[in-house]
């Protein structure tokens, strides 16, 4: 099909700096004329070889996904790209997109998602560029894209009819081939190379009931194919399996606060033996046993300790990485295994170099993210399958696996307190005030504990030497407990203060105790030290996970 290309004059927007994970804004911001186009033009211009480039394109199905995809197709055609690989219906989970980039050796991919943020006309939208390794673009590239947005004066777009995103097949627009593919096939195939599907199928077939909550987000089609198809679970195992533009009005964040019904079901007397959920774009996971919640930090540690039960990791792991605010549970496992453990800033992009260099096999974050070197994103369904493989191999309940783990390694009791949508100036002032007091804190006593160190976390990437500063304020105590303060980089309104609480114990009596009760003293200490109420006007967090 011949295409007519126009160059459209535009003016820069001053708010297009990507955050922790791409550019996330209220949907209404993205719906402004030229807003999406400007950013996409800057992504395309950042490609080392734009003419003839090939990209993967897809999103989590939220409101505005289809329109944005049509716009990007028209811009790709006008900018001389050679190929777009798009998930059917415009849907691709973030890990599936990462896999497609790697499998097809494309020049990267564009993922449309605001992850766990609510969707709809009054919700959020987002866009993210992934590089040829399949991972989120590192800061060097996102900063270059941002710099370009500040001076952009025109973008190129073709006038074409919309592509039928629901029909699998190929369309040519000038020099561009648009390939609409089944979104699930390649991903499901990859999972079968990593995990023992026969073992899991037999185990589940023994009358064990599991549930998976797709939260009306992107994992529905993937989960149905894998659990109800390949693994033979009964229909109804996957809840909320239909991706909806507004996620059914829910908040597609798999945690104790937002996956309420799942949590209630798992805590009922006759609840299932295993429950899990994933988020808007399918990269997060929550793991639950019967009446038992596995913290994401513990989940990473347990998977690292038992990695060799899964066929894809039979030869052992090269190393582990965790984001700084994630608990040190994985460090203890790495030490025992005799492998390296890296501590990176928050953001999956910081794992990319370590994975590419073969220094780590597994990585994870407290924010419900776990993954491995199979792709370059965290992967919700991968984590669920890893747990199922582990349960099928051990034939023990989730709670027992955790208790045994703590018997061996001790327990890093953990919680995160979020103060959402607080005043940005107040939040900034809190961080500045606390930051200024940290250097004098080491060696002093706070709340009956001695401060071992207090600093503003900075990271030097061991592979390329790049330095990332101001990645969170840490106060570590001599008894192994720790408080971390950070401002979220994924919110879209006001600021979100995150307070991460951790305490180590190897007293078996504590293995039976509730994490929040154990952490109460350092939670109060955190509020007091940072003067949270004074700066935010809040005396309790909005979400505790």
Binding site for ligand G16 (CB under 6 A): 20-21, 115-116, 279, 283-284, 323, 346-348, 365, 367, 369, 488-490, 498
Burial, 5: exposed, middle or buried (Cβ in 10 Å; 0-12, 13-18, 19+)?
Answer: middle
CA distance 354 to 471: 18
Rank residues 64 and 284 by Cβ distance to ligand G16 and give the closer one: 284
Rank residues 87 and 347 by Cβ distance to ligand G16 and give the closer one: 347
Rank residues 283 and 510 by Cβ distance to ligand G16 and give the closer one: 283
Cα separations (Å) of 448 from 3, 412, 413, 521, 522?
A: 72, 20, 19, 10, 10
Rank residues 41 and 115 by Cβ distance to ligand G16 and give the closer one: 115
CA distance 351 to 342: 9
What's the min distance (Å) between Cβ of 388 and ligand G16? Answer: 22
Rounded to the nearest 5 percent, the helix, strand and coil shares of the chain are 35, 25, 40
Cα separations (Å) of 540 from 98, 421, 467, 504?
A: 38, 13, 34, 24
Cα separations (Å) of 52 from 106, 129, 172?
A: 11, 17, 14
What's the min distance (Å) between Cβ of 469 and ligand G16? Answer: 15
What's the min distance (Å) between Cβ of 345 and ligand G16? Answer: 9
Q: Which of 234, 219, 233 is nearest to 188 (CA)?
A: 219
What's the min distance (Å) between Cβ of 220 and ligand G16? Answer: 17
Q: Which two tokens stand for residue 222?
A: 């993937």
CA distance 398 to 406: 13
Rank residues 197 and 350 by Cβ distance to ligand G16 and give the closer one: 350
Size of the chain in residues:
545
Instruction: Tell me the pairing of strands 124-130 and 109-112.
Output: antiparallel
Distance from CA of residue 71 to its chain's centroid? 26
What's the min distance (Å) between Cβ of 97 and ligand G16? Answer: 12
What's the min distance (Å) between Cβ of 379 and ligand G16? Answer: 11
Q: What is the DSSP secondary-structure string of 360-401? A: -SEEEETTTEEEETTSSS--HHHHHHHHHHHHHHH-S-HHHH
Distance from CA of residue 143 to its chain's centroid? 20
Alpha helix (H) residue ranges in 207-328: 219-223, 260-267, 296-305
Rank residues 489 and 521 by Cβ distance to ligand G16 and give the closer one: 489
What's the min distance (Å) between Cβ of 22 and ligand G16? Answer: 8
Rank residues 200 and 217 by Cβ distance to ligand G16 and give the closer one: 217
Active site (catalytic) residues: 115
Q: Which of 184, 230, 222 is nearest to 204 (CA)?
A: 230
């Amino acid at each position: 099909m011949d295409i007519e290309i126009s160059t459209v004059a535009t003016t820069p927007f001053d708010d297009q700096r990507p955050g922790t994970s791409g550019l996330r804004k209220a949907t209404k911001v993205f719906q402004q004329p030229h807003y999406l186009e400007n950013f996409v033009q800057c992504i395309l211009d950042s490609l080392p070889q734009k003419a003839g480039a090939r990209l993967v394109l897809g999103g989590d199905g939220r409101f505005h996904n289809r329109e944005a995809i049509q716009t990007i197709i028209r811009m790709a055609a006008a900018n001389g790209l050679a190929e777009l690989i798009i998930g059917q219906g415009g849907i691709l989970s973030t890990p599936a997109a990462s896999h497609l980039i790697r499998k097809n050796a494309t020049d990267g991919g564009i993922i449309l998602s605001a992850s766990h943020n609510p969707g709809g006309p009054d919700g959020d939208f987002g866009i993210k560029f992934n590089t040829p390794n399949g991972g989120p673009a590192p800061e060097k590239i996102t900063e270059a894209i941002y710099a370009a947005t500040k001076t952009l004066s025109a973008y190129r777009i073709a006038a074409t009819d919309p592509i039928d995103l629901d029909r699998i097949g190929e369309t040519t627009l000038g020099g561009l081939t648009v390939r609409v593919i089944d979104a699930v096939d390649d991903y499901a195939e990859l999972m079968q190379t990593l995990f023992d599907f026969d073992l899991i199928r037999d185990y589940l077939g023994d009358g064990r009931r599991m549930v998976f909550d797709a939260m009306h987000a992107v994992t529905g089609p993937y989960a149905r194919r894998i659990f109800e198809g390949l693994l033979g679970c009964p229909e109804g195992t996957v809840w909320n399996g239909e991706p909806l533009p507004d996620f059914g009005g829910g908040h597609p964040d798999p945690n104790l606060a937002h996956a309420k019904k799942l949590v209630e079901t798992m805590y009922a007397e006759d609840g299932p033996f295993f429950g899990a959920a994933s988020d808007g774009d399918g990269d997060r996971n929550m793991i639950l046993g019967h009446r038992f919640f596995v913290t994401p930090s513990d989940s990473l540690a347990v998977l690292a300790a038992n990695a060799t039960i899964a066929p894809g990791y039979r030869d052992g792991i090269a190393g582990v990485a965790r984001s700084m605010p994630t608990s040190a549970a994985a460090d203890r496992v790495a030490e025992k295994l005799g492998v390296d453990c890296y501590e990176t800033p928050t953001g999956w992009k910081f794992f990319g170099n370590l994975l590419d260099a073969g220094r780590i096999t597994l990585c994870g974050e407290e924010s419900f993210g776990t993954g491995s070197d199979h792709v370059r994103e965290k992967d919700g369904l991968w984590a669920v399958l890893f747990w199922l493989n582990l349960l099928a191999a051990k034939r023990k309940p989730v709670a027992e696996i955790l208790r045994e783990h703590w018997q061996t390694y001790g327990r890093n009791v953990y919680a995160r307190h979020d103060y959402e949508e607080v005043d940005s100036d107040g939040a900034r002032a809190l961080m500045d005030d606390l930051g200024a007091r940290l250097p004098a804190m080491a060696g002093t006593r706070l709340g009956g504990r001695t401060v071992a160190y207090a600093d503003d976390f900075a990271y030097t990437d061991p592979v390329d030497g790049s330095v990332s500063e101001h990645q969170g304020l840490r106060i570590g105590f001599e008894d192994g407990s720790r408080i971390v303060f950070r401002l979220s980089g994924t919110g879209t309104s006001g600021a979100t203060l995150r307070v991460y609480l951790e305490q180590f114990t190897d007293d078996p009596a504590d293995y039976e105790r509730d994490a929040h009760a154990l952490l109460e003293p350092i939670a109060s200490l955190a509020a007091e030290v940072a003067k949270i109420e004074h700066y935010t006007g809040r005396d309790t967090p909005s979400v505790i996970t």
